Amino acid sequence: MTTQTAGRVLLEMKGIGKSFPGVKALEGVNLSIREGQVHALLGENGAGKSTLIKILSGAYTRDEGEIFFDGQLADIKAPADAEHLGISTIYQEFNLAPNMTIAENIFLGHLPTKAGTIDWATVKKRSRELLDSLEVDLSVDALTGSLSVAQQQMVEIAKALNRNTRILVMDEPSAVLSERDIENLFAVVRRLQASGIGIIYISHRLREIFELADEVTVLKDGRYVDTKQVADVNMEQLVNLMIGRDLEDVYPKRHGEPGEVVLEVSHLAQAHLAKDVSFQLRACEIVGFAGITGSGRTEVARVIFGADKPTAGEMKLYGKPFRPRSPRDAINQGVALVTEDRKRQGLLLKLQVYFNTTVSGLDRLTSFGVLRLQDEMTLVQQWIKNLRIKTPSPEFMVVNMSGGNQQKVILARWLSLGIKVFIMDEPTRGIDVGSKSEIYQTMADLAEQGVAIIMISSELPEVLGMSDRVMVMREGRMVKELSRAEASEEEIMLYAVGHEEVAS
Amino acid sequence: MSSVQSVAPARPNFLKMLLGSPILGPVAALLMASIFFAVMSPRFLSGPNFSLILQQVMVVGVLAIGQTLVIITTGIDLSNGMVMALSGVLMASFAAQKGLNPLLAVLLSLVVAMAFGLLNGGLVTGIGLPAFIVTLGTMNIAYALTRIYTTSTITNLPRELTFLGETFNIGGTAIANGTVLMLGLYVITWFVLKYTPAGRSVYAVGDNIEAARLAGINTKRVLLGVYTFAGLSYGIAALLQVARTGVGDPQAGQTSNLDSITAVVLGGTSLFGGRGSIVGTLIGALIVGVFRNGLQLLGVESTYQVLITGVLVIAAVSVDQLTHRK
């Protein structure tokens, strides 16, 4: 597939640099794309990939460096400049008007006119042609709001093609898709490639890069690391370039034996989302909760944390009846929840690192009703150091941090309270490899110290790498418990989707 | 101090603090406006005139305290002027017409104002109605109740009700008791927001109410507390209003809701919640006061003063938006 002599160089970015207050986001980054090439951009979260493509698309302006397009110096200062050159970007969050039709979206902002009125005939005809070229079988009159995520993505691609795109930037396009949709996306990408479009493909999934890309450029900590022909490297080498260490070290080794029963859940139900769920959780152990999205894992977690009321069943904490009336009540009894959606349910995004760290334990920092700000700052700085949270200062707003560092702030919040039962819902979702392994290490340390951990995860390698036991949920029920020895990806999936479906 | 690694406790550096502070803009605007009027009018820069400005802003200033807290929690309170009018009429009537002990009359009216706050908070948290709608409703209810109670101005108030309008002298400048009360309330609110868990909860709820709940904050209690405290501040504003004018006026507070929002916004508090400062609000109220006073000294008609206030609000929010954009 790889053709070193692929088309001529279309875009060249040289020595790109960009600073934000307190952070040097990019420094000396190079990127060169040829016609008809799929070029993967690889790096951990916070490595600078998003900043780089935002500079290319005109959303940010660069502080340093030069951009050449077609051999000409191109000064991209605004999104219109990039569009004019034929650079289109499809972000993870689509830019579609949900109450408009597919055709209207494809022509949004560029509606052709004929005698002063919109030329709907051309709009529909051209939209049809674009959808056909992508082999999308949808009516051009369908509202985009009614489409699946994969279909919306195709509309975004059609929109880009309609603007005579020569470079298409795709920011983690597969992150939101199912396996089948990903195959379809790949086919489309290959067709675009064949038509001479240069594609910048951002993904965390290394497998995809080997399947799709010709060349890969790796960034780390805002710096350019290297550009390689995909044919010349293997997965280990890429990981090494990305994080500067090997993959085997990601899951820490643990030796502790499970201790006493900490939490006992019997016949728990929550509306129609969780039914008759029973299990025990011991000190010093990590129990993986596997299952597909919507299988009831998050619902069980929320009940244990007091965020939702159970409709049936009972719980015991250290042998005593446990019925948390609110998250506060659960926290006071030593139970914490790291929520699945960090930004909506975990962090106070526009508030500072120190605020987010101590918000759940302010009573410990209060004397006679007054906060001891000095003690608070000492505590926060201690946790920044312990968890190696990358932040210019405790006063930094968490919204400006990378996913991994944001997650560490949440961990600091709970760890500073000395909790006993730790429920972590997708603890490493959207987090770079480096922070991931640090979070795994923190989990292992906690288990060694006697904390009981429930880890809800949809990433099977993570479930297998971290869990002492795996509980599999399906359609609100706990369908199987697997020991570490019994558990394998196949075995877990078998129970997670159900025998019937596997058979068919 | 020898080790490069050690993190020295930040020395209080006033200039640095001010430069990184969210109230930098409002403070700069206040200073520039003051300098402008000082140059234009010789009468502006004097103790008595400053004392007058404080007296002119004290009613809106106290209303704006409650408004600030409500806005930090992403709410808005349209009812405050009407609640103040009702509370003021009740306290004047109880004391002057019904022969109630004046202090008891004040206390009862404060309770009425707080009850309105509690009602606002209850409807916002209990039914989950938008604050705009709830307070639009209670604004009309309070207005109607006031008019049902009386349509005439209540006079001959006992001295207890006008005490806050009286003045004392410092170095030849007469200072109204009410302005001291206003400044005291600002100090207390500032302290609570900065130094207590309750103050933190207000910001947390304003940033993201669901995340705040899952962090262990009793968000309903926080909102009820904020609206009830806001109600109390409207009751105190009523006391100041009555003391300043010497009458119980059913027509009072007609534009106070928007005036208080103006002060909050000029002070740099975000209408999207989670970000805001009570000191900023005081400065915002003073900016309006300085402009009105200065323009008056220059002989500008009051209608034009309102016009300029309008321009000021738009300019302030525009600057705020532009500086907070990436």
**Which of A19, A97, A84, A83 lies closest to A51, judged by CA?**
A19
The phi, psi pair for B2, rounded to 5°, reads -75, -35
Cβ of A359 and B212 within 8 Å? Answer: yes
| pLDDT in the model for residue B3 | 35
Cβ of A327 and B274 within 8 Å? Answer: no
Q: What is the mean pLDDT of residues A304-323?
A: 95
| pLDDT in the model for residue A332 | 96
Q: Is the pLDDT of residue B321 over 90?
A: no
Q: Is the pLDDT of residue A246 over 60?
A: no
Q: What is the mean pLDDT of residues B42-61?
A: 93
Ranges of each domain in chain B:
24-321
Q: How far apart (Å, rounded) are the C-alpha atoms in residues A173 and A187?
A: 13
| pLDDT in the model for residue B322 | 78
| pLDDT in the model for residue A239 | 77
Of A214, A248, A282, which marks where a domain is finished? A248
Banded pLDDT at B10 (limits 50, 70, 90)? very low
Mutate to test the interface with B, among A302, A357, A359 (most CBs of B within 10 A): A359
Q: Does B212 touch chain A (CB under 8 A)?
A: yes
**Which of A207, A246, A199, A243 lies closest to A43, judged by CA?**
A243
| pLDDT in the model for residue B4 | 35
Mark out the alpha helices in B150-218 (DSSP H runs): 159-162, 177-195, 197-207, 209-214
- Judge whether A90 and A157 are in contact, CB under 8 Å: yes
Cross-strand bridge partners of residue B173: B170
Mean pLDDT of chain B: 90
In terms of Cβ atoms closer than 10 Å to its own Cβ (0-12, 13-18, 19+), residue A119 is middle
Can you give the CATH number for the domain in which A264 is found?
3.40.50.300
Tell me whether strands A198-202 and A167-171 are parallel, antiparallel or unpaired.
Answer: parallel
**For A20-29, B61-70, B199-208, B287-296, which range has the lowest pLDDT when averaged over its residues?**
A20-29
Looking at the structure, tell me whether residues A469 and A328 fall in a common domain.
Answer: yes
Q: Is the pLDDT of residue A45 over 70?
A: no
Cβ of A350 and B204 within 8 Å? Answer: no
Q: Does B17 touch chain A (CB under 8 A)?
A: no
Q: What is the mean pLDDT of residues A338-364?
A: 94
Please check whether residue A46 lies inside any domain of the structure: yes
Residues of A in contact with B73 (CB under 8 A): none
Please check whether residue A461 lies inside any domain of the structure: yes
Mean pLDDT of chain A: 89
Residues of B in contact with A366 (CB under 8 A): 196-197
Sign, Cα dihedral of A273, A275, A278, A279: negative
Q: How far apart (Å, rounded) are the C-alpha atoms in residues A139 and A137?
A: 7
Of all residues in chain B, the percent with pLDDT exceeding 70 is 93
Q: Is the pLDDT of residue A3 over 50?
A: no
pTM of this prediction? 0.76
Q: How far apart (Å, rounded) are the C-alpha atoms in residues A37 and B88?
A: 75
CA angle B110, B114, B116 (to 5 degrees): 120
B24-321: CATH topology: ABC transporter involved in vitamin B12 uptake, BtuC (1.10.3470)
Of A203, A229, A248, which marks where a domain is finished? A248
Q: How far apart (Å, rounded) are the C-alpha atoms in residues A115 and A494?
A: 62
- ipTM value: 0.88
| pLDDT in the model for residue A503 | 38
Please check whether residue A362 lies inside any domain of the structure: no
Q: Is the pLDDT of residue B167 over 70?
A: yes
Interface of A with B (CB under 8 A): 20, 60, 305, 307, 326-328, 331, 337, 339, 344-351, 355, 359-360, 362-363, 366, 369-371, 373-374, 381, 413
| pLDDT in the model for residue B19 | 58
Looking at the structure, tell me whether residues A184 and A289 fall in a common domain.
Answer: no
Q: Is the pLDDT of residue A21 over 70?
A: no
Please check whether residue A380 lies inside any domain of the structure: no
| pLDDT in the model for residue B317 | 81
Identity of residue B217: I
The phi, psi pair for A20, rounded to 5°, reads -115, 160
Tell me whether strands A469-474 and A421-425 are parallel, antiparallel or unpaired.
Answer: unpaired
Give the C-alpha distances (Å, rounded to integers) separating A211 from A187, A198, A247.
11, 17, 20
**Which of B52, B75, B90, B99 lies closest to B235, judged by CA?**
B90
| pLDDT in the model for residue A290 | 92
CA angle A53, A54, A60 (to 5 degrees): 145
**For A143-157, B16-30, B62-76, B166-180, which range has the lowest pLDDT when averaged over its residues?**
B16-30
| pLDDT in the model for residue B203 | 96
Looking at the structure, tell me whether residues A46 and A185 fall in a common domain.
Answer: yes
Looking at the structure, tell me whether residues A223 and A269 fall in a common domain.
Answer: no
Q: Is the pLDDT of residue B91 over 50?
A: yes
Nearest CA in chain A to B207: A348
| pLDDT in the model for residue B6 | 36
Q: How far apart (Å, rounded) are the C-alpha atoms in residues A271 and A299?
A: 9
Domain that residue A218 falls in: 9-248
Looking at the structure, tell me whether residues A327 and A472 fall in a common domain.
Answer: yes
Mutate to test the interface with A, among B214, B220, B271 (most CBs of A within 10 A): B214
Looking at the structure, tell me whether residues A191 and A232 fall in a common domain.
Answer: yes
Residues of A in contact with B210 (CB under 8 A): 344-345
Q: How far apart (Å, rounded) are the C-alpha atoms in residues B96 and A105?
A: 68
Cβ of B200 and A371 within 8 Å? Answer: yes
Q: Is the pLDDT of residue A247 over 80?
A: no
| pLDDT in the model for residue A198 | 95
Which is more confident, A171 or B13?
A171
Q: How far apart (Å, rounded) are the C-alpha atoms in residues B110 and B99?
A: 18
Please check whether residue A354 lies inside any domain of the structure: no
Please check whether residue A29 lies inside any domain of the structure: yes
Q: What is the mean pLDDT of residues A144-148?
A: 88
Q: Does B213 touch chain A (CB under 8 A)?
A: yes
**For A289-293, B38-42, B63-67, which range has the lowest pLDDT when averaged over its residues?**
A289-293
Cβ of B211 and A348 within 8 Å? Answer: yes
Edge-to-edge strand list for the sheet holding A9-20: A72-73, A64-69, A9-20, A23-34, A223-229, A215-220, A38-42, A198-202, A167-171, A87-90
DSSP three-state, residue A350 = coil
Of all residues in chain A, the percent with pLDDT exceeding 90 is 63
Banded pLDDT at B9 (limits 50, 70, 90)? very low
Buried b / exposed e over B190-226, threshold 16 CB at 10 Å, is: bebbebbbbbbbbbbbbbbbebbbbbbbbbbebbbbb
> Would you state the structure tokens that stand for residue A237, as one six-digit string?
């080498």
**Interval A63-75: pLDDT, tens:** 999 999 998 999 9
Tally of domains in chain A = 2
| pLDDT in the model for residue A1 | 44
Q: What is the mean pLDDT of residues B91-105?
A: 95
| pLDDT in the model for residue A248 | 57
**For A151-160, B111-120, B210-219, which range has the lowest pLDDT when averaged over its residues?**
A151-160
| pLDDT in the model for residue A501 | 47
Residues of B in contact with A18 (CB under 8 A): none
Of A248, A281, A309, which marks where a domain is finished? A248
Residue appearing with tokens 């605004």: A78
Q: How far is A26 from chain B (nearest CA, A)?
A: 16
Q: What is the 3-state secondary structure (H, E, C) of A119-167?
A: CHHHHHHHHHHHHHHCCCCCCCCCEHHHCCHHHHHHHHHHHHHCCCCCE
